[in-house]
Amino acid sequence: MLVLGRKPGEYVMIGNDIKVQVIKSKEGDLRLSIEAPKEIPVVRGELLNSKTSYSCK
């Protein structure tokens, strides 16, 4: 596991085509922007842990 500290505007690349950028951060609230190819599903963890099914669009 890799743990990083990032400030708003900074980002991390995963491979060559997935970009995770911090948009906003304040007291317990973090907003991320995730850019990934359409064929890569991006799903919130709570949806994976629930019995709710999801579809990739």
Mapped onto helix, strand or coil, the DSSP state of residue 46 is helix
Q: Which pLDDT value is given to residue 2?
A: 92
The encoded tokens of residue 49 equal 């842990």
pLDDT surpasses 80 at 50: no
| Sheet strand arrangement including 29-35 | 11-14, 18-26, 29-35
Q: Which residues pair with 21 in a beta bridge?
A: 11, 33
Give the pLDDT of residue 56.
58
Dist CA 31 CA 38 (whole Å)? 21
Provide the percentage of residues in the chain whose pLDDT is more than 90. Answer: 68
pTM of the model: 0.78
- Answer whether 36's CB lies under 8 Å from 42's CB: yes
